[in-house]
Amino acid sequence: MTAPTIGVLALQGDVREHLAALESSGAHGITVRRPAELAQIDGLIIPGGESTTMSNLLGVFDLLDPLRARLAEGMPAYGSCAGMILLASEILDTKPDARHLDCLDITVRRNAFGRQVDSFETDLDVIDIDGGPVRAVFIRAPWVERVGDRVEVLATVPHGPAAGRVVAVRQNSVLATSFHPEVTGDDRVHRLFVDMVRRS
């Protein structure tokens, strides 16, 4: 089976870690900073970072409109942390001029778990991921406050003050997590996305 080519938006975030996870998941990973690179890929990962800065950089690099067009055509995408925010249809606690990609029917709250010092790890049961819980790292992470009818909830926080908060979702060929699977060495979330790209 031919390895799909999956891009990692290389404006901010753990680009190298996502590329390594893609390679171990049976995909060919490339960095994406230009429209020409966007045209070469079968799917895209939008990593963490600062979502308003990333939305501005999409404009600076002339990627916003081409990316919206590819997503509208059905290109699979996976967003982690800030990537989830950019993929959402509604964002709470953001700047008025922040732009987003509007391809997940969800409402997310930025920095919902608190500041950098409130970062934490926990184990999550994630739908369609076998082999036991996924270790999830939350760093200034969002959570999902509303999910649309066509959105599938894949994971919620199991305990603590944020118990029940939605932190992983899927809608058609778009996947998003509040947490950072790329930093744990566990590539199962990336394998799930690679399978989604293959099926699309």
Query: Exposure of 70 by Cβ count < 10 A (0-12 exposed, 13-18 middle, 19+ buried)?
Result: buried
Which one is predicted more confidently, 161 or 84?
84
Give 168-195 pLDDT, tens digit per residue. 999 999 999 999 999 999 999 999 999 9
- With a pLDDT cut of 70, the percent of the chain lying above it is 97
Task: Determine the pLDDT at residue 21.
Answer: 97
Catalytic residue among 17, 81, 100, 103: 81
Task: Determine the pLDDT at residue 99.
Answer: 83
Give the model's confidence band at 116: pLDDT under 50 very low, under 70 low, under 90 confident, else very high. low
Task: Determine the pLDDT at residue 112.
Answer: 85
Return the structure tokens found at 175: 């996947």
Annotated binding-site residue? 80: no
Annotated binding-site residue? 49: yes
Return the structure tokens found at 84: 């989830």
- What would the mean pLDDT of 88-116 be, rounded to a whole number? 86
Task: Determine the pLDDT at residue 38.
Answer: 96
Annotated binding-site residue? 199: no
180 is catalytic: yes
81 is catalytic: yes
Predicted confidence (pLDDT) at residue 145 exceeds the cutoff of 90: yes
Task: Determine the pLDDT at residue 2.
Answer: 85
Query: Exposure of 22 by Cβ count < 10 A (0-12 exposed, 13-18 middle, 19+ buried)?
Result: buried
Q: Supply the mean pLDDT for the chain.
A: 93
Residues 6+ apart with CB under 8 A from 19: 8, 29, 30, 31
pTM comes to 0.95
Give 16-67 pLDDT, tens digit per residue. 999 999 999 999 999 999 999 999 999 999 999 888 889 989 999 999 999 9
How far, CA to CA in Å, does 9 sit from each of 72, 114, 160, 190, 193?
A: 17, 25, 33, 15, 15
Give the model's confidence band at 115: pLDDT under 50 very low, under 70 low, under 90 confident, else very high. low
Distance CA 177, CA 65 (A): 23
90 is catalytic: no
How many other C-beta atoms are found inside a 10 Å radius of the C-beta of residue 131?
7
Catalytic residue among 18, 100, 103, 180: 180
Annotated binding-site residue? 140: yes
